[in-house]
Each structure stands twice: as structure tokens, then as C-alpha cells.
Amino acid sequence: MTISFGTRLRSAMDERGPLCVGIDPHAALLDSWGLTDDIAGLERFTFTVVEALAGTVAVFKPQSAFFERFGSRGVAVLERAVSDLRAAGGLVVMDAKRGDIGSTMAAYAEAFLRKESPLFSDALTVSPYLGYGSLKPAVDLARESGAGLFVLALTSNPEGSEVQRAVRTDDPAGRTIGATMLAHLAEENAGEAPMGSFGAVVGATLGDLSSFDLDINGPLLAPGIGAQGATPADLPAVFGAAVRNVVPNVSRGVLRHGPDATALRDSALRYADEIRAAVGA
């Protein structure tokens, strides 16, 4: 029987600490490492991170766009990174934010959630803003493959509020769009233990979210710690009773310590310890 993403994620966070490290090889970061903005630089950056952290960190979130910008050779680097990370026991959340309808959404799902795909990942970020129902092909394939999804619900970028906090005129309860997405995810995860596999992206920089029901019995991927200004100590105030299911993402806060592998590892371990203490893990 395939073990669900929610089960594997809970186990990984309990064992290695509740931390997700982003892998974001953008041009400025490559330059800060003294690397060229080309395939050689991309490879050196990516596999330095993989070799330093794959056996230590619970979750990794490669940003697909920073690999796709190099074309097929960049995607090949991403494929190898995904394989190496998973072989070392890390879980991979592919940050591709895919969203479409019908057969196109199904094709996106097959690219990242079909076990035979070279980009098969433990979970995928998806955009629900063609309607939550448009995600059904991804939901169905994730269930079949034992993978998960992270649905954009309350994102950390300031522009997100104009959509996510808009009130639905067709909803008798007058819920916002973001609250609607959380409610759908709670339905997907109902009855799952230790938690479901269908999570939400909720920014750690958003302050008091007590007006939203974050108890979706699933993971909450929380960008914003480090360079965006949030700290591990902020997590309980933002996420309340749901804080144990938070998967805090740190990218530049860890990656700025490269290319030294020991410094990368030490930074990741410090963040994991700080987060564990903050959330009572």
C-alpha cells in the first residue's frame, strides 16, 4: 500500500524538524555564490545544496521557473535534483503553481504527480483561481500516487489579497475566496490521520489570521521566514492551534550561506531547531 504524503510529511518533520528549504537558483543568488548565470552555475548551485542538505532537511521546495528558464538542460538538472533529494530521504514539493482546466490540468498533474514521470514529486503547488473544481485531475492523481497538493490560499505577496480576501457574492455565508479554498481542503482531508495530504499555502508574514479556519487537518506551507521578514517566533501568533501542521519555508535565509556546504547545513539546522522550539514540536 502506498503511504500517503500526509503520513510521510508528518514523519519527516518529526524526525528531521519542521523545515522546508527552497531551492531558488535565481541570477542574483548565483552571482552572490560567485557562479555564472548559465547551466554550469545552475548545476554547481543545485548540487551543492542537494549534497549539503538532502540527508538533513525534511522538505525541499525547488522553484521550477528558475530551472525552466534554461530550457531542456535546466529541466534535466531539476529532474536529477528531485531524484537525488528523494533518494536521500527528503520530501520534494515542486513549486510550479500550475492551474488550468480539463485535459490541460490533467497533463500538468501527470508531469509532476505520475510516479513514472522523471519530475515525480511528493507534492505540487497549484493555483485554484479557475475554480477549485478545476484541480480535480490533480487531486485524483495525487490520491492515486500517494502524493499531495499545496493550494494557493492566503499567499504572502501583497497583491494576493485583492483576490484571496474578496468576498463571494454567491456564497450564503459570505466567505472570502481564501476561506473557500481552506474549506475545500478540509473536506479533502476529512478523517485522515495523522493528517491529510492536501495543504494550503499561507504566508507567515500575514499576521493575525484568526478570522480564517486554518484547521484543515492538512499541512500549511508557510513562506515568508527570513528575507521576507517573518521569524520562527511569529508562527504561533499567525497559525494558532494549527501551528503543528505548519511547514515553514526558508529560502534565502539558508541559501545565502552558500557555497560553503557546512555553513548551509548549520543554517538549516539552526532554523529547524528554532522552528521546533517555537511550535512545540
State the catalytic residue, choosing from 61, 97, 115, 136. 97
**Confidence at residue 281, expressed as pLDDT on a 0 to 100 scale:** 72
Please tell me the total count of domains within the chain: 1
Residue located via cell numbers 481542503: 185
pTM (2 decimals)?
0.97
Give the mean pLDDT per block of 10 residues along the chain (281 residues).
Answer: 93 97 97 98 98 98 98 98 98 98 98 98 98 98 98 95 95 95 98 98 95 97 88 96 96 96 97 95 72
- 24 in a structural domain: yes
User: Is there a domain that residue 163 lies in?
Assistant: yes
pLDDT at position 227 is 75
Give the domain CATH number at 10.
3.20.20.70
In a domain, 179, yes or no: yes
Residue 97 among the catalytic residues? yes
Residue 257 within any structural domain of the chain: yes
**Cα gap 108→202, rounded to integer Å:** 23
Tally Cβ neighbours within 10 Å of residue 220.
Answer: 29
> Which of 181, 277, 278, 188 is CA-nearest to residue 239?
278
Full residue range of the structural domain in which residue 75 is found: 5-276
Q: What is the pLDDT of residue 1?
A: 66
pLDDT tens string 130-140: 999 999 999 99
pLDDT at 238: 96
Residue 171 belongs to some domain of the structure: yes
Residue 281 lies in a domain: no
| 165: in domain | yes
Angle 200-206-212 (CA atoms, 0-180°, nearest 5)? 55
